[in-house]
Chains A and B, each alone.
Chain A
Amino acid sequence: MSTIAQQSNIENARTLIEKINEKCFEKCIPKPGGSLSSGESTCLTTCMQKYMQAWNVVSQAYITRIKSDPRGN
């Protein structure tokens, strides 16, 4: 059973990484050059932390909504 729970955690992390790459690439690398500049790398790191925070805010808001309105999700 713990294997199934673990699989689900891995899947969750995989999706998160995929989304972060998609969103932060869009934000930080508007014009892809010959290599990642240091500014772009810094932006990616910052963006990644910000995206995770946004995920937590959304998750919390969603939980609050479901709890107050269990049939409305």
Chain B
Amino acid sequence: MDTSSIPDYSVSDFSDKDKKDLQTFIENEQQKAKFQANVHSLTDLCWTKCITGKISSTTIDRSEESCLVNCVNRFIDSQKAIVGQLDVMGGRT
């Protein structure tokens, strides 16, 4: 990154509107990055589970596709079940 090209401004020089816009922009970018990171880890996990045969075609066939979709949904279900169970356990201990 070429930092020398960034002019010497301070955030305190920004108007309230600019600050708000900047904050919204950063939050959006962070959310996007988090979403993409989640898709990367889900694809990694579900590829291992669903693409089990030899690589012979460039396309995902129907059964692989439905496996991938199920994999994503069941992973999220598991996550919710575990968090829910932790809640129950937390109440008891």
State how many angstroms separate the Cβ of A4 from the closest Cβ of chain B: 6
When the two chains form their complex, are residues B60 and A58 in contact, meaning their CB atoms are under 8 A apart?
no
How far is it, in angstroms, between the C-alpha of A46 and the C-alpha of B43 when the chains are bound? 17
Task: Count how many chain A residues have C-beta atoms less than 8 Å from C-beta atoms of the other chain.
Answer: 33
A11–B29 Cα gap in the complex (Å)? 12
A49 to chain B: closest residue by CB: B58
In the complex, A7→B64 CA distance in Å? 32
Closest CB-CB distance, A60 to chain B, in whole Å?
8
Q: How far is the CA of A35 from the CA of B14 in the complex (A)?
A: 58
Docked Cα-Cα span, A5 to B33, in Å, equals 10
| B residues less than 8 Å from A59 (CB atoms) | 39, 43
CB of A21 closer than 8 Å to a CB of B: no
A62 in contact with B42 (CB, 8 Å): yes
A27-B55, A58-B68, A73-B76 known; A51 vs B43 contact (CB < 8 Å): yes
A59 to chain B, nearest CB (A): 5
B85 at the interface (CB under 8 A from A): no
Chain B residues closer than 8 Å to A11, beta-carbon distance:
33
Contact of B1 among A3, A61, A62, A69 (CB under 8 A): A3
Contact of A5 among B29, B46, B76 (CB under 8 A): B29
